[in-house]
Amino acid sequence: MTLHGKTALVTGGSRGIGRAIVHRLSALGARVVYTYRRDAVDLRRDGVLAVRADQADPGALDAMFAPVRACGLDILVNNAAIAPSIPLAELTGDDFDRVMAINTRFPLLAIREAATLMRDHGRIVNLSTLNTVVAGPGLALYCASKAALEQITAVAARELGPRGITANTVSPGQTDTDMLRATAPWERIEATAAAFGALGRVGTADEVAAVVAWLAGPDAGWITGQNIRATGGLIV
């Protein structure tokens, strides 16, 4: 598979799964623009450009799309998100507004903007989470925001399908990232994966990136409106 001649835009590409996606798409030959909120990471690859964009600010859309307006777009990957753990009894309206703005509103507006720039037979891949079917305490806002994004993806598949543009969701399970390691002691995370996962281990960011890259490539042109659960068999 090759992505030579393709232009990709990846949100939240400076660390974790997003960084692995940037690496994978770039290695396959795509020109990649990625966003970051705090510190850009030098990925040291030709054809990779970092743009600062805070998804809490809808105005950041202009900065994010500026590098691709002239050349057009082939691939959009909505990866950036936040996952605060807030018990129901403690969450506020401000918490709701912030999580929904970052995890749902910004990706939705990005899809709308991308559709005007994207060439026919383009690819949209949105990152969700296993937690939309395996809910966890404190994750009401995270689960709700990602479930909404899954439905937006399905609608985008219907609306953009006549142009050959596909829209799919990838829902990772336990993946070795800084975000996962911050949730619990590593030994407990590994024990959970061993007890409940068909493959018996925690996944890697590169493994999730490989699924995203496949959906972004030419071999997945007949796949749209789907939610690929890249979980190592946590749900079978």
DSSP for 13-37, please give it. -SSHHHHHHHHHHHHTT-EEEEEES
- Distance (Å, whole) CA 187 – CA 103: 29
How many C-beta neighbours within 10 Å does residue 111 have?
Answer: 22
Q: Is-catalytic flag, 142?
A: yes
Amino acid identity of 170?
V
What pTM value is reported for the model? 0.94
Q: What is the pLDDT of residues 166-180, one digit of tens each?
A: 999 999 999 999 888
Top CATH class of 7-176+204-230 equals: alpha beta
Active-site entry in 36, 65, 106, 142: 142
Cβ atoms of residues 168 and 216 within 8 Å: no
**What are the extents of the domains in the chain?**
7-176+204-230
Q: What is the pLDDT of residues 48-90, one digit of tens each?
A: 999 999 999 989 999 999 999 999 999 999 999 999 999 999 9
